[in-house]
Amino acid sequence: MQKHITVIEGDGIGPEVVQQGLKVLHAIEHRFGHNFTFSHRMMGAVAIDVTGNPLPEDTIESSLQSDAILLGAVGDPKYDNDPSAKVRPEQGLLRLRKELQLFANIRPIQVFDPLIHLTPLRPEKMQGVDFVIYRELTSGIYFGEKGLSEDTSSAYDVCSYTEAEIQRIAHLAFQQAGNRRKKVTLVDKANVLETSRLWRRVVQELATDYPEIELEYLFVDNAAMQIILNPQQFDVMLTGNMFGDILSDESSVLSGSLGMLPSASIGKGTALFEPVHGSYPQAAGMDIANPMATILAVAMMLDHFQMQEEAAEVRKAVNWALTNKLVTKDIDPTHFYGTSAIGDLMASFIEQDNAHINHSNASLNKSTII
């Protein structure tokens, strides 16, 4: 199969982790006889430095013409501490979401058995945790009218949703639940917010199309507690833009390493795949970043291409690496491998049909730098 992918490395550790994702894509190409072509484009702080624009036009054009986008991360501390900065790296990502109408952000939260000791919860609370957050991504308070009074003493951000915006993501969430454990939890603040009451009405009506799916409601403050108290209860969590932003970060720490979690943003056309973690500028260029989240984002991309067998192969490689302690410093601070070594190991595992790799071969690459 032929697929065209726009590659956006972005800032900080973005380039390093994306390189490992590309190694894995090349290995899949060779092993399964596909043909993937790539266009490299800029976004974020690096794009501001070079062009003055966090999302140059040719990045949008290339993205629109691609089957998928592989993104590293955007963000640079030199913009974070300056509230008066007019141009920010994150604007690139927000605009790309809007331009491509990437209205659904999908973040799976699962436990990796070999890493269960890393969870901040009691390990038995994490046993079998497997849920997915469907976060609305192109509306709500992120994209409503905003303003600052002339004397700068007051400001506002409007949160608004339409029925259609709620319906399109809710359908995806219910369809996904149909392939899983058949439960949707709508998270909102319907005791206070009008937009949340709209979400409840629209989702309740739409739920009648999915009689086999159980629908439950949680207020967002309670949801934040439940994620820590009993994460096993969730299957598909459906929520708006800002609640989803916060709850997905909260949930992402359950598995013990932010470096393991991928995300997909899908909409009408080209879909985008990225790790959940940020640009981690302190680690840039040090070959210590965990590339697994990006590699798992590649697996989500392959699923999206209907390449289920290929996606399963990538996940198998990840499990093999974790089981054999082929991990980066965030997972094991004393015996760890470099970012690039992990990418090479994963690619060889996939390419050689798992035949010639064994733990002792892999150990030869073991980093001695501590």
What are the catalytic residues? Answer: 142, 189, 221, 245, 249
Query: Which residue number is nearest to ligand IPM in terms of Cβ?
Result: 90
Distance CA(96)–CA(226), nearest Å, equals 33
User: What type of residue is 222?
Assistant: N
Which listed residue (16, 245, 274, 330) binds Mn ion by CB under 5 A? 245
Report the nearest approach of ligand IPM to the CB of residue 261 (Å): 11
Report the nearest approach of Mn ion to the CB of residue 249 (Å): 5
48 binds ligand IPM (CB under 6 A): no
Name residues contacting Mn ion, limited to 311-350 (CB under 5 A). Answer: none
- Binding-site size for ligand IPM (CB under 6 A) equals 4
- 205: tokens are 């009506």
Residue 61 binding partner per list Mn ion, ligand IPM, none, with a CB distance cut-off of 5 to 8 Å that depends on partner kind: none
- 333: tokens are 């601070």
Residue 344 binding partner per list ligand IPM, Mn ion, none, with a CB distance cut-off of 5 to 8 Å that depends on partner kind: none
Beta bridge partners of 314: none
Distance CA(197)–CA(199), nearest Å, equals 5
DSSP string, 99-123: HTT--EEEEEEE--GGGGGG-SS-H
Q: Which is nearer to ligand IPM, 247 or 326 (CB)?
A: 247
Query: Which residue number is nearest to Mn ion in terms of Cβ?
Result: 245
In the stretch 84-123, what mask flags binding to ligand IPM with x, by CB under 6 A? ------x--xx-----------------------------
Report the nearest approach of ligand IPM to the CB of residue 249 (Å): 7
For the CA atoms of 176, 163, 157, 219, what is the dihedral angle to 10 degrees? -50
Which listed residue (76, 188, 245, 313) binds ligand IPM by CB under 6 A? 245
Q: Which is nearer to Mn ion, 27 or 100 (CB)?
A: 100
Give the three-state DSSP class for 272: strand
Percent helix / strand / coil, the chain, rounded to 5: 45, 20, 35
Task: With CA atoms as reference, report the closest residue to 128 among 256, 213, 255, 275.
Answer: 255
Check if the beta carbon of residue 44 is closer than 8 Å to that of residue 76: yes
Check if the beta carbon of residue 105 is closer than 8 Å to that of residue 137: yes
**Which residue in the block uniquely carries the two structure tokens 């393991």?**
260
Report the nearest approach of Mn ion to the CB of residue 245 (Å): 4
Binding site for ligand IPM (CB under 6 A): 90, 93-94, 245
